[in-house]
């Protein structure tokens, strides 16, 4: 069904008010998604074939930044990659309400409660709002990488090992970060990114050592987030 003018306005509001903060979209990712959305779903087309060069010209971005933005949008579920060849890409552009990370939050009524039998190692800390908050709480409102103080409005979640490199949604691979680090890190290994922060003067030698140890502890499962489940009496008790 063709999208009406009213629905188009709603979609754009969902993009700005929900999708951008929920997925921590960078400026490049926002521009690329908006451009693809404009030439697909808003024209009653589910799939779109395009070249990186065409997309880069349309957004006045470099081909490298556009290619990275497409990869990250696929990883975040905003795009579904159907085909990729030398001739171009074919993607399905998902509306904000069709993206799992957004749909999960919208469908929840009140704070989600964790089942008592939940296995911490099997939990998806990217898709569930309560679990995402547990990651932010674990980092105590500081960026995992640069140690900048964060607020609820300027924080993001980042995959230490990017999803395009088969990084999981486990608590061992997701950290709270500032938007700048989230954008700059990209597909760079965490250790290499931390060393670049040290070279740029954003971390001291002592802080770099501490952050590298934190990466090791995270992968080893030593940085477990504090989770809570609700018993029959409604009292909260620790489950982690």
Per-10-residue mean pLDDT of the chain, 240 residues long, equals 66 82 83 93 89 92 90 89 86 88 52 50 83 91 93 86 84 92 88 94 93 93 75 32
Q: What pLDDT does residue 235 have?
A: 31
Sign of torsion over alpha carbons 133, 218, 225, 151: negative
Compute the distance between CA of residue 39 and CA of residue 68 in angstroms, rounded to an integer.
20
Q: What pLDDT does residue 34 have?
A: 92
Q: How far is CA 79 from CA 23, 72, 100, 117, 129, in A?
A: 12, 9, 11, 33, 21
Q: What pLDDT does residue 240 have?
A: 34
Q: What pLDDT does residue 53 have?
A: 92
Q: What pLDDT does residue 110 have?
A: 41
Q: What pLDDT does residue 17 have?
A: 79
Q: What pLDDT does residue 234 have?
A: 34
Domains for the chain: give ranges and CATH numbers: 5-98 (1.10.10.10), 113-229 (no CATH)
Compute the distance between CA of residue 239 and CA of residue 41 in angstroms, rounded to an integer.
43
Q: What pLDDT does residue 18 have?
A: 79
Q: What pLDDT does residue 116 have?
A: 43
Q: What pLDDT does residue 7 have?
A: 80
């Amino acid at each position: 069904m063709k999208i009406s003018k009213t629905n188009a306005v709603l979609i754009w509001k969902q993009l700005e008010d929900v999708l951008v903060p929920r997925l921590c979209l960078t400026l490049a990712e926002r521009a690329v998604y908006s451009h693809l959305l404009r030439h697909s779903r808003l024209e009653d087309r589910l799939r779109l074939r395009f070249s990186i060069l065409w997309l880069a010209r349309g957004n006045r971005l470099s081909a490298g930044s556009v290619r990275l933005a497409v990869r990250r949008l696929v990883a975040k579920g905003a795009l579904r990659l159907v085909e990729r060849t030398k001739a171009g890409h074919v993607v399905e552009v998902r509306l904000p309400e069709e993206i799992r990370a957004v749909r999960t939050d919208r469908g929840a009524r009140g704070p989600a409660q964790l089942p008592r039998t939940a296995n911490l190692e099997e939990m998806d800390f990217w898709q569930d709002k309560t679990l995402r908050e547990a990651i932010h709480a674990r980092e105590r409102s500081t960026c995992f990488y640069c140690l900048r103080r964060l607020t609820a409005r300027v924080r993001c979640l980042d995959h230490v090992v990017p999803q395009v490199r088969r990084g999981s949604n486990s608590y061992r691979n997701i950290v709270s970060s500032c938007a700048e680090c989230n954008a700059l890190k990209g597909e760079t290994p965490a250790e290499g990114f931390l060393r670049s922060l040290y070279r740029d003067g954003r971390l001291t030698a002592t802080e770099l050592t501490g952050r590298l140890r934190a990466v090791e502890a995270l992968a080893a499962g030593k940085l477990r987030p504090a989770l809570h489940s609700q018993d029959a009496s409604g009292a909260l008790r620790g489950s982690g």
